[in-house]
Homo-oligomer: A and B are copies of this chain.
Amino acid sequence: MKDLAIQFGSKLRDKRKALGISQDKMALLAEVDRSYAGRIERGEVNITLEKAYQLAEVLECDIRELLP
């Protein structure tokens, strides 16, 4: 299941970059710690469904776009 976090993180990063938002700004908007945002993008953490929705909201996309 480790792949899941990696794939989610990778899609999240791609989406964020496509929008031209910095990791710091995304972290701020999604109310997560800056270092935690980096860990999410690297697939190092198993985030909650709620946090995944929050991130999708910040990136103005449907959560389905971020899922593997």
Instruction: Name A residues whose Cβ lies closer than 8 Å to a Cβ of B.
Output: 1, 4-5, 8, 46-50, 52-54, 63-64, 67
Contacts and interface: CB of A to CB of B under 8 A. Distances in A.
Interface of A is mostly: helix
Contacts of A4: 49-50, 53
B46 A1 contact: no
B64 A1 contact: no
Contacts of A52: 49
B54 A50 contact: no
Contact of A5 (B1, B5, B49, B54): B49
Given A1-B54, A54-B1, A8 B49 contact: yes
Contacts of A1: 50, 53-54
